[in-house]
């Protein structure tokens, strides 16, 4: 069996890769287990130094990795370069902080005993990753886990096998011991067997809630821990005192980053009555200015959608929303050109329970809701089964922070687009998943927090 990598901008096959067959999969798991037994005893300072070396390899080859991502999944090239830099940042970050995050904590307990909390690695961790940030999602997992002494097995999305192979090669080139980070080129139907394998100690998945549920069910039946970073339908709340120039400019970026294919993209724009007309007019005008085109062209703002089926799904969600009464302010027609392109689209007057109201729209489609006031805005923001990110725009920072605390979300930003940052925990509530990545919380997800009592 083989896996094809296809350029979504042209439909051309880039390369065909052999799938990892059952016996090779078993061998890789065995080697990962053996690698763990040694890796866990390597001093954390050495593991940290290797991560810093990995950041050098990333930066030295930025153009190569950026082009690989852009060709495989269509990300605009400038954003692909920024993604490589962010991967280098997360390697540097854990390269600097891992030991501090995992150091023993001496606890004042029984006066006759020394009581310590230690954080020890668990073993081989399976990472099931998506195509939308094909480098970042993987490094966000790998940097803290390799630093903690775990080893990683990557099952990457089937449309980015080249990225999967390149990431494995980066760790090897950097000098990480072989098998500390391994790629399995397998179909998602084969994941169940891997999760169930006794050598796997934990599973992390970033992707759709459907995939998350399937993985959690299998892992749960084997009592294995999972971290799930699933979709989102982030609200972007505009209050009457929002700084409008900055708000509109950021609203466009927040919706269109990665051609609209981001879990933390702003998807539902919730605007209070007083500034609704002004916001919609300016937002639509700005969205209309964005250039759709070849993602390798520096001028392109919106590249192709990553796969034809994802484009079909997005268009169906838009059509269904319009059939239910949603109004089209911009876009919404499929583009008459080669490749999986979709135009920037703005919908208004979207009825409750229409797809654009309740589902995740993974593409350059914004939905704008009109609400009477702040209270109604918060209610609308929370009226979703997702709870990943949320933002609020206001001139009053105290008010902004108060509203931020009322969002049912794992991330809440005031006057800034929702973004991931290695220094802050990242993850969601409700159907957006559970567990946290990044920061101190992220490195402590797959460790054994062990209480040691010495008397």
Binding positions for ligand NDP, rule: CB under 6 A? 128-130, 132, 155-158, 187-188, 191, 206-208, 211, 214-215, 229-231, 263, 310, 360, 362
CA geometry: angle 332, 12, 15, nearest 5 deg: 130
331-360 core/surface letters (b: 16 or more CB in 10 A; e: else)? bbebeeeebbbbbbbbbbebeeebbbbbbb
Interstrand relation of 13-18 and 151-155 (parallel, antiparallel or unpaired): unpaired
Interstrand relation of 181-183 and 151-155 (parallel, antiparallel or unpaired): parallel
Q: Work out how close the CB of 8 gets to ligand NDP at its nearest, in angstroms, rounded to a whole number.
A: 12
Hey, which residues does 391 pair with through a beta bridge? Answer: 236, 413
Which residues, other chains included, contact 366 with Cβ-Cβ below 8 Å and sequence gap of 6+? 251, 255, 266, 267, 269, 283, 287, 344, 345, 346, 347
Residue with tokens 């050495």: 46
CA-to-CA separations, 175 to 71, 87, 180, 211, 336, in angstroms, rounded: 27, 17, 10, 33, 48
User: How far is residue 315's CA from residue 365's CA, in Å, rounded to a whole number?
Assistant: 10
Residue 133 CA to its chain's centroid (Å): 7
Secondary structure letter of residue 178 according to DSSP: T
Residue 76 or residue 389: which is nearer to ligand NDP going by CB? Answer: 389
Active site (catalytic) residues: 229, 263
Interstrand relation of 114-121 and 447-454 (parallel, antiparallel or unpaired): antiparallel
Q: Work out how close the CB of 159 gets to ligand NDP at its nearest, in angstroms, rounded to a whole number.
A: 6
- For residue 393 the two structure tokens come to 């725009």
User: How far is residue 168's CA from residue 55's CA, in Å, rounded to a whole number?
Assistant: 14
Closest by CA position to 48, among listed 435, 443, 445, 420? 443
Continuous segment of H or E residues that includes residue 222? none
Closest by CA position to 201, among listed 29, 384, 389? 29
Which residues, other chains included, contact 211 with Cβ-Cβ below 8 Å and sequence gap of 6+? 128, 188, 205
- Three-state DSSP state, 432: coil
Q: Work out how close the CB of 235 gets to ligand NDP at its nearest, in angstroms, rounded to a whole number.
A: 16
């Amino acid at each position: 069996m083989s896996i094809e990598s296809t350029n979504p901008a042209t439909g051309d096959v880039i390369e065909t890769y052999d799938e990892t067959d059952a016996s090779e999969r078993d061998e890789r798991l065995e080697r990962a287990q053996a690698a763990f037994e040694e890796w866990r005893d390597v001093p954390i300072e050495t593991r940290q130094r290797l991560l810093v070396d990995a950041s050098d390899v990333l930066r030295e080859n930025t153009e190569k990795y950026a082009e690989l991502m852009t060709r495989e999944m269509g990300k605009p090239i400038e954003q692909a370069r920024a993604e490589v830099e962010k991967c280098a940042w997360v390697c540097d970050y854990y390269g600097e902080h891992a030991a501090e995050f995992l150091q023993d904590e001496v606890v004042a307990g029984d006066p006759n005993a020394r009581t310590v909390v230690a954080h020890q690695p668990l073993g081989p961790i399976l990472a099931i990753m998506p195509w939308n940030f094909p480098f970042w999602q993987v490094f966000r997992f790998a940097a803290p886990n390799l630093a903690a002494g775990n080893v990683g097995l990557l099952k990457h999305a089937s449309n980015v096998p080249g990225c999967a192979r390149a990431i494995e090669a980066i760790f090897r080139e950097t000098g990480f011991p072989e098998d500390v980070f391994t790629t399995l080129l397998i179909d998602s139907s084969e994941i169940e067997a891997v999760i169930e394998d006794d050598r796997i100690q934990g599973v992390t998945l970033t992707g759709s809630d459907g995939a998350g549920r399937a993985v959690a069910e299998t892992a749960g039946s084997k009592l294995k821990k999972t971290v799930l970073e699933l979709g989102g339908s982030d609200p972007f709340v505009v209050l009457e005192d929002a700084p409008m120039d900055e708000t509109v400019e950021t609203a466009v970026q927040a919706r269109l980053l990665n051609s609209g294919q981001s879990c933390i993209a702003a998807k539902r724009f919730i605007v209070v009555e007083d500034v609704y007309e002004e916001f919609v007019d300016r937002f639509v005008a700005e969205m209309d200015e964005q250039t759709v085109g070849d993602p390798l062209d520096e001028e392109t703002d919106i590249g192709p959608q990553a796969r034809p089926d994802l484009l079909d799904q997005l268009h169906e969600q838009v059509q269904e929303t319009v059939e239910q009464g949603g109004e089209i302010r911009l876009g919404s027609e499929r583009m008459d050109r080669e490749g999986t392109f979709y135009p920037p689209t703005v919908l208004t007057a979207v009825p409750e329970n229409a797809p654009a109201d309740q589902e995740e729209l993974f593409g350059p489609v914004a939905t704008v809701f009109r609400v009477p006031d702040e209270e109604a805005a918060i209610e609308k923001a929370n009226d979703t089964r997702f709870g990943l990110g949320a933002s609020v725009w206001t001139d009053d920072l105290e008010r902004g922070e108060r509203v931020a605390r009322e969002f049912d979300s794992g991330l809440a930003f005031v006057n800034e687009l929702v973004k991931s940052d290695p220094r802050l925990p990242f993850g969601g509530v409700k159907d957006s998943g559970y567990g946290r990545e990044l920061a101190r919380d992220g490195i402590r997800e797959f460790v054994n927090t062990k209480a040691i009592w010495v008397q």
